[in-house]
Amino acid sequence: KKISKKEEKILKLKEELKKAFEELDFVKAVEIREKIIDLES
């Protein structure tokens, strides 16, 4: 199944989110989560 541009963006953001958590960069993590939520809605 081909993934849409939107899904692709969400996957990329989820990778960034994981990295932000690993670096304990919670401010960035919250910003990324909000972007993901916007895209998913």
pLDDT of residue 35: 98
Q: How many distinct structural domains can be found in the chain?
A: 1
Q: What confidence tens digit (pLDDT) does each residue in 8-40 have?
A: 999 999 999 999 999 999 999 999 999 999 999
What is the length of the chain?
A: 41
32 close to 11: Cβ distance less than 8 angstroms: no
Residue-number span of the structural domain to which 17 is assigned: 5-40
pLDDT of 1 strictly over 90: no
pTM: 0.82
What b-and-e string marks burial along 1-34, b requiring 16 or more CB atoms within 10 Å of the CB? eeeeeeeeebeebeebbeebeeeeeeeebeebee
